[in-house]
Amino acid sequence: MFSMTLADRYELIHDAPPVDAYVALRTDAGLSPKTVEQGAAAIAGTWFFCHIRERSTAQVVAMGRVIGDGGWYFHIADIATHPDHQRMGLGRAVMDTLVARIQDTAPANPYITLLADPPGRRLYEQIGFVETAPTVGMRRS
C-alpha cells in the first residue's frame, strides 16, 4: 500500500474532530452543509474516523470517516480537505489511513465503497477504486 509522510506542520489523529470543526470543514471544502445536530449524529454513527490538523493553529484541515457494519460492508464518507491545504497529500493520507484500518481489522475480503465526486476521482482511482457499473449509486430525493 502507498504510504505518505505528512509534513511536520500536520498531525494525523485517529478520532473524530470536534463537531463544530466537522461541520465547518464540510462547508469549507465544498461538501453539502450540515447542522451541528446532523454532525453529532454522523460522528456517533461512525465506525472509524480520522482527521488532520495543523499543529500551529490546531485547525482541522482534512478528514474522512468509515461507516459500516464492521463485518463485510464499509463505506468511506466525508473526505474533505480545506482549500488552503489541498494538493499537499492530506487527502491521500486520510484515504490510506481509512483503507488500512479496514484491511487491518475487518474480516477477509471487505467490500469498500464510496461515492466519487469529480474532484476526488483521480485520487480514489490511484488508491484502487473502480466504477461499479453497471451498478449505479442511487439516493432518495
pLDDT digits (tens, 9 = 90+) for 43-86: 999 999 999 999 999 999 999 999 999 999 999 999 999 999 99
Q: Domain range for residue 49? A: 10-127
Residue 1 within any structural domain of the chain:
no
Overall pTM > 0.85: yes
- The pLDDT value recorded for residue 2 is 45
Domain count, the chain: 1
Residue 5 within any structural domain of the chain:
no
Question: What is the DSSP code string of the chain?
Answer: ----PPPTTEEEESSPPPHHHHHHHHHHTTSPP--HHHHHHHHHT-SEEEEEEETTT--EEEEEEEEE-SSSEEEEEEEEE-GGGTTSSHHHHHHHHHHHHHHHHSPSS-EEEE---HHHHHHHHHHT----TTS------
pLDDT digits (tens, 9 = 90+) for 2-36: 446 799 999 999 999 999 999 999 999 999 999 99
CATH number for the domain spanning 14: value is 3.40.630.30
